[in-house]
Structure 1
């Protein structure tokens, strides 16, 4: 799947907002698992793997 640059911009905005909310409100277990190596970068929308 190919995304436009506008869609990638939206993804960056959403991920940034969610990161702030997660740090404030998420359970410790979630925060620890979210920091594991190998997590996909959040600067671009993820592609669909078929």
Structure 2
């Protein structure tokens, strides 16, 4: 596998971790706005 160096992303990689995009979206219960089609016990689409 070839590793590509992308220096413009280093600020994001080393920056403050703001949480998981998927975890944050599902917690908000705004399914229509967040394009959540279906919720299950342990997953969502």
Q: Which TM bucket (shorter chain)? A: 0.3 to 0.5
TM-score under structure 2 normalisation?
0.33
TM-score under structure 1 normalisation?
0.32
> Highest relative contact order (Cα 8 Å, sep 6+), 1 or 2?
1
Structure 1 or 2, whichever has the larger Rg, is 2
> Which protein has the bigger helix share?
1
